[in-house]
Each structure stands twice: as structure tokens, then as C-alpha cells.
Amino acid sequence: MDETSQFSARVKLGLILAVCALPSLCEAYAILWGERHGYTGKALRDGLDFWAGGFLLRHHQLPLLFDHGAYQAFLQGLYGKLPYHLWSYPPNYGLVAAGFSLLPPWGDVLSFDVASLALLALLLRLSGQSWWFIAAIAVAPASLENALEHQNAALMTALLGGGLLLLEARPRLAGGLIGLATIKPQLGLVLPLHLLRRRPIAFAWAALAAVLLAGASLLAFGPAAWLGFVHYTSPAMSKVLLTGQPPEFAGGLISVFAALKPYAGVRGALLGQAVVSAACIAAGLWTRRPAVLLVLSALASPYLHDYDLLGVALAVALLVRERRAAGFFPGEPVLYFLVWFAPGLLPWMPRYAHLVPVLLLLLLASAMRRGGVAPCDSYPAPPGLPG
């Protein structure tokens, strides 16, 4: 491709990325408006739980952390009336939160956002990705939504996506990264058996990293933190999934389970999700391709939000780069655009959340195919015809 064509392609890519970022930028304006008008607690969104959970763990205030009424009163004493809040993570993630909680709330969440993106960029660069590729991931709608919610999708994509991209060249590092992703285990259901079959050494390092991280949290916070997670946090999150209450937590779910529940009920949705998850785990045994594994990981998770699609955005970027060289099948560019754009649109159009699993299944079918569509003039000329 000559320099003019490269420049034109980059301009088109930049315009597409800018258009996709518009919904999130409008959302960012609303957050800034809330902060300026005294709604700091609401503007912090999920970052408030990240700071508060880390702060309470660091000061060993476990009765506040694992009592919803006391936890809510603690937050409202700081910021007035707030929506429903809940610390929803295991103590190993509390190590991360506690480290950043040394800063005030806004410094805490913004530092975490920047550090997570920096780690993602570092690991993508280490795996051989270009700076253009990394910049596209950084401004993807899923990345922007993650930053606006002050969630952990950039960190999880660094650990899971970076681990998968480094698996062939650096299996020990890759395994260690994937083991650290046990801070949010529902996003890694596909990977243990995949590592065990494809890279046993990576599986061993993943297990070691997971055990060391859990042990460090046990030493830092004591056994009461894990008991509180088992007896309070885990049942509370199961209730969110099964009952849909409170809607602040359950309303944004985009998993197969969430899509099936209105039509099949809880039991039918659980059965459907179990079948899909089992199929994804089985499919993960037979592929080496990071893009396929990232899509399988999203489909296998029963608890999935729009920002969790950052790993899927990485898969889309990998597929687009591959298809530009090998050729697109009809409809694939539109599919890739819809999957990329979806996380920015969902906060504004939540009624379409049930379509996300359909898009993911179509993306999986696209990711699993091999080969491309060669241009018409790329085939060799039949004998007897001019070349």
C-alpha cells in the first residue's frame, strides 16, 4: 500500500473512531455537569465502590464493608443520598483497590484508569502491536465506557488479552497474567482448560499467580475478608443475577443469561447459559487464536456489562487487521462496526442489550472462519488467456 493509500485509510479509520466515540463523549459531559453541580458521589459512579472498598479494607473496617446498611450509610455520610452501592469483588481485587485508596476518591479512580490503560498499552506493545492499533483500542467505545464507569475492563483486558497474545512467545508471563485475572473470574471461564491442553507451563504459572494473589490478600486483610466474601458478597451478587434486583446492578447485564431470562425464566436462562458456557469451554480447547478465545470468554460469562466488551473490541481489532490482508466476507465490516459501536450505544438504548449475545455469536462465527475473499483480479488466469 503506497503512502497516499495509507494516509487515506488512516483518515477513514480516524473518522469512524470519532463517530463511535460521540455517545460516550456526551455521557462524559453529563458526568462533568454533575460534578460541577455538587453531585460528586453520583459522578464517581462505580469508582465510588472502588475507593470505598479499598479504603475500608485498608483500615480493616470489614463490618462496614459487609453490612449493606452500614456501607450505604458510610457513603451517604460523605456524599448525601446515592443510588444503590455494593462492594462486589473478592479480597484479591481488594489488594488493587486498597493500594489506590491512599489517594482521595477522584485521584484514586483516575489514577487507576490511567494505570490500567498504561498496562494494557504496554502489554499490547510487548506482543508486537503497532501504536495505531493501541490507540484504536484506547478510544474504543468499550474503553471509554470503562473509564466513565471507573471499572476494571482495561485491567482485565490487559491481563487476559495481553496474556493470550503473549502465550506463544512468553508462556510463563502469559500464564502469570491470566492467573492474576482471577480478580474477576467470570471472564476467564474458558481459559483454564485451554491453558492446560495447549500450554501446561502457562497453566502452572497461572495457578501459581492465582494462589499467590489470594494468599497475599489473606495476609493483608485476614480470613474474615474471605469469609465475608463467601457469606455476604457472593450471595448478594447471585441475588442480583437471579432476581434482577437492584436494577442499578442487573439492568445493564448483556449476557446470554440476561437475554434469555425475560422469555425462559430464571431456570431456562440458567440452562441456556450453562449450555453456551460449556460449549464455549469445549470450543476453547480446539483453538489457538486469541480473537476467538476473547469472544468465547465473553459469551461464557453469565455476568457481563457493556464495558466488559473491551476484550471483544480487542478481538474485533485483531480480526479487522487480519481481514484487511485476507479479505472480508460480505457483511463482516458491518458486523465488526456494530460490535465495536455497541458499548457506547447501550447506555442510551438499553432495550437493545438482549441483541448483544446475537452479535457475539455472529462475531464468533466470523472469527472461527479461515481464509478470505480474494479480489477478482488476484486469481491466476486460466491457460490460454492473457495474464
| Distance from C-alpha of 148 to C-alpha of 305, rounded to nearest angstrom | 13
Q: What is the pLDDT of residue 2?
A: 62
pLDDT along the chain (387 residues), means of 10: 67 82 91 90 94 96 93 94 90 97 96 98 97 95 96 98 97 98 95 96 98 97 96 90 76 90 94 97 96 98 95 97 90 95 92 94 92 43 38
| Distance from C-alpha of 21 to C-alpha of 9, rounded to nearest angstrom | 18
Q: 123: how many CB neighbours lie within 10 A of its CB?
A: 22
| Distance from C-alpha of 268 to C-alpha of 110, rounded to nearest angstrom | 40
Residue 194 corresponds to which amino acid? Answer: H
Secondary structure letter of residue 230 according to DSSP: I
Which residue reads 482485565 in cell numbers?
A: 156
Q: Which three cell numbers stand for residue 289?
A: 487464536
Cα–Cα distances in angstroms (integers) from residue 153 to residues 8, 12, 16, 377, 384, in the given order:
31, 27, 22, 43, 58
Q: Does 225 reside within a domain?
A: yes
The CA angle 86-87-93, to the nearest 5 degrees, is: 160
pTM of the model: 0.91
Q: Does 380 reside within a domain?
A: no
Q: Does 379 reside within a domain?
A: no
Q: Does 65 reside within a domain?
A: yes
Q: What is the pLDDT of residue 375?
A: 42
Residue 241 corresponds to which amino acid? Answer: L
Q: Does 98 reside within a domain?
A: yes
Q: What residues contact residue 130 under an 8 Å CB cut-off, 6+ apart?
A: none
Total count of domains within the chain: 1
Q: Does 124 reside within a domain?
A: yes
Q: What phi, psi does 287 have (nearest 5°)?
A: -130, 150
CA 256 to centroid of chain Cα atoms? 16
Q: Does 53 reside within a domain?
A: yes
Cα–Cα distances in angstroms (integers) from residue 228 to residues 60, 93, 160, 233, in the given order:
12, 14, 27, 7
Q: What is the pLDDT of residue 66?
A: 94
Closest CA to 303 of 261, 342, 340, 339: 261
**Segments forming the whole domain that contains residue 192:** 18-369
Q: Does 282 reside within a domain?
A: yes
| Distance from C-alpha of 296 to C-alpha of 83, rounded to nearest angstrom | 33
Q: What is the pLDDT of residue 373?
A: 46
